[in-house]
Amino acid sequence: MAVTPGHIDEWAPAGVFFAVVATSQLWLAQALWRGTARRVLPAAVLSTAGLVALYVVSRTVGLPFHGEGATVSGGGHHGPLLVPGGHGNGMPVIPGSEGSSAVEAVGLLDVVCVAAEFTALALLVGLMAPAQRRSVTNLLLAVGVCGWLAWAAVRFT
């Protein structure tokens, strides 16, 4: 919730996204506290893993969507990243996107939040039934390995 006002100022859809995520996580915490969240555990694991993946992508290759004010204007935390001898602001362009992407800088609050998301993910998986836990753990591991392989393929080619 703490980052919602700043993101609303930069790009309203991002601010709304953070508000919806925060509200959903508060609802999930309440459901877990009451013991009524067993049915939504798979969706909670999927959405939490998705948030971690979104964070990683936003800090490595950048997202193909963001507000116009968040790109090259110098405003917000997507300020220009000028490349000596280069063209434009140095932001990578993702094929198929309408505009450029913006790689965000890693901040202390970001690291604390992603660590909390990883902790929540581990706890949510731990609450699952043993057979389901094995399947979900294997799936998360496979997705993580594929992500690293994709990163390595792009990085070293």
139, containing H or E segment: helix 130-155
| Dist CA 10 CA 4 (whole Å) | 10
Instruction: Select the highest-mean-pLDDT range: 4-8, 22-26, 66-70, 83-87.
Output: 22-26
**Per-residue confidence at 151, pLDDT binned at 50, 70, 90?**
confident
**Residue 143 confidence (pLDDT):** 92
Instruction: Note the pLDDT tens digit of each residue in 25-65.
Output: 999 999 999 988 888 999 999 999 999 999 988 888 777 76
Residues 73-113 pLDDT 10s: 444 555 554 545 444 444 555 444 455 556 788 889 889 99
* Angle separating helix axes 12-34 and 41-60, nearest 10 degrees: 150
Residue whose structure tokens are 């979900």: 136
Would you state the pLDDT for residue 124? 95
At 128 the pLDDT is 94
User: Whole-angstrom Cα distance, residue 15 to residue 134?
Assistant: 35
Where in the chain are the domains? 4-128
